[in-house]
Amino acid sequence: MTIYSTPGSADRFPARAIVVGGGPVGCLAAAMLARHGFEVDVCERRPSFLQHGFGDEGRTINLSVSPRGMRALAKVGCRQDFADAAMPMDRRVVHTRDRQVLITRYEQPGWRNHSIARNELNLLLLRNAQRRPGVRVHFSTACASIDFDRREAVFATSAGEQVRPYHLLVAADGAHSQVRAAMLDSGLLTCQQTTLDARYRELTLRPAEPGRLSRSAIHVWPREGFFLCALPNVDGTFRATLVLPAEGQASFEEIRRTGLRNLVRRHFGDTVPDIDWHTAQSRDAPPARMEQILSSTLHYRNSVVLAGDAAHTMAPFLGQGINAGFEDLITLDNVLARAHPGGLGAALSEYSRERKAQGDAAAMLSMTNYRELTAQTGDGRPPAPVSGLPLPIVINFLGLSYQEVLRQHLTIDGLVPSSIATGS
């Protein structure tokens, strides 16, 4: 067995790591593990998006990456590449039902989120990982099953099944993680899964007049029970997400009956001239579901960890999924750097404890923000925060852990009992 040194310590780890999933978290995980001397095989189910593109442009989303996520990007030296491809956002603009525009500027210089297409971020991190010695990426390679005791993962490829042995396996295969499902089947964890009533679909906004929508802002149109939000792209367009209940008044069912344009005209009238109706109609994909999936543990002994959406799938209402996933990897990096020889099991256990607590808290905060975005305020204004700063500012910029935000913000607002907020 080859033994490699870890950065920043004389500790040593066995060499072979498999990362299941070549999404943003998987690619970043590969780069981090390579820093610790692991030989890393990233196994991605999709065909090579370097060669063939993503093929899902109609469904791609924009992500708001906060300083939390940026810290992880800095660790693997791709902060500048990221900044070149992303749009900085220094304000939040709320568009009320009565067409008022309420602007909240983020006052401190470091208070910036960045908007980037998920696919763009994925490419950037893939290239970063591939530049590292020891990292190999295998496309069209889908994890099918795992023997956790023998430490062997089976992958379906166009050339048939491949069995890959591993010392460490990182599950970064997203919300419907095959690794998590295999652990569930083997009795290694349990999951809490909630499917939300709300669904979403993507729209493109192409402002009819330049400057009509600030390009350095996240835009939100909160309504009673539903909302629209939009993030800027570098090309001057905006990627918008329309979130509605599946059925009832102002729902996707209503869109099926009376058309998207009708619903937009009634509830988001100021956006009618800006929506790219051509792509909205030609890419009329069914609305997507939203889920929250939380696991009882994020590791198995000294050989498996879950990260990103595979570890904690949360509702997207606070824009924390990728940020929490990247924070997972900062913690993984830290525990690996501190681990003793032969102490991988203790390191992964520490990772699991810490990130489960934070992931659960982030998921709960996301659900709380849904209530704030869709509250019955009558005039389409979000309710004023009881505890001072709005939750998105507290969560993105104050450097607090998700657990701490939950404890401080929500016990003050009285939205959850303190016993939940403190995790006791």
Ligand X SMILES: Cc1cc2nc3c(=O)[nH]c(=O)nc-3n(C[C@H](O)[C@H](O)[C@H](O)COP(=O)(O)OP(=O)(O)OC[C@H]3O[C@@H](n4cnc5c(N)ncnc54)[C@H](O)[C@@H]3O)c2cc1C
Residue pair 37/6 in contact (Cβ under 8 Å)? The answer is: yes
Confirm or reject binding of residue 308 to ligand X (CB under 6 A): yes
Identify the H or E element spanning 142. Answer: strand 142-147
Backbone angles phi, psi at 244, to 5 degrees: -140, 160
Confirm or reject binding of residue 182 to ligand X (CB under 6 A): no
Q: Report the C-alpha gap between 230 and 252 in whole angstroms.
A: 19
Confirm or reject binding of residue 46 to ligand X (CB under 6 A): yes
| Residue 251 or 396 having the CB closest to ligand X | 396
Stretch of 3-11, 170-178, 274-282, 342-350 contacting ligand X, by CB under 6 A: 170-178
Identify the H or E element spanning 83. Answer: helix 79-85
- Using CB under 6 A, which residues numbered 221 to 260 contact ligand X? 241
Confirm or reject binding of residue 45 to ligand X (CB under 6 A): yes
Confirm or reject binding of residue 23 to ligand X (CB under 6 A): yes
State how far the alpha carbon of 45 is from the alpha carbons of 66, 144, 156, 181, 392, in Å: 28, 10, 9, 16, 34
Q: Report the C-alpha gap between 120 and 26 in whole angstroms.
A: 15
| Least distance from ligand X to the Cβ atom of residue 3, Å | 28
Helix (H, G, I), strand (E, B) or coil at 232: strand
Confirm or reject binding of residue 323 to ligand X (CB under 6 A): yes
Confirm or reject binding of residue 43 to ligand X (CB under 6 A): yes
Confirm or reject binding of residue 146 to ligand X (CB under 6 A): no
Number of residues that bind ligand X (CB under 6 A): 34
Confirm or reject binding of residue 382 to ligand X (CB under 6 A): no
Confirm or reject binding of residue 331 to ligand X (CB under 6 A): no
Confirm or reject binding of residue 172 to ligand X (CB under 6 A): yes
Q: Report the C-alpha gap between 245 and 374 in whole angstroms.
A: 11
Residue pair 112/90 in contact (Cβ under 8 Å)? The answer is: yes
Residue pair 93/220 in contact (Cβ under 8 Å)? The answer is: yes
Confirm or reject binding of residue 392 to ligand X (CB under 6 A): no
| Residue 143 or 344 having the CB closest to ligand X | 143
Residue pair 37/5 in contact (Cβ under 8 Å)? The answer is: yes
Q: Report the C-alpha gap between 66 and 64 in whole angstroms.
A: 6
| Residue 280 or 339 having the CB closest to ligand X | 280
Figure out which of the listed residues 6, 119, 128, 178 binds ligand X, where binding follows CB under 6 A: 178
Residue pair 307/170 in contact (Cβ under 8 Å)? The answer is: yes
Stretch of 8-16, 18-26, 77-85, 393-401 contacting ligand X, by CB under 6 A: 18-26
| Residue 173 or 350 having the CB closest to ligand X | 173
| Least distance from ligand X to the Cβ atom of residue 99, Å | 25
And the tokens for 167? 């010392």
| Least distance from ligand X to the Cβ atom of residue 418, Å | 27
Interface with ligand X (CB under 6 A) = 20-26, 43-46, 61, 63-64, 118, 142-143, 172-175, 178, 200, 241, 308-310, 316, 319-323, 325
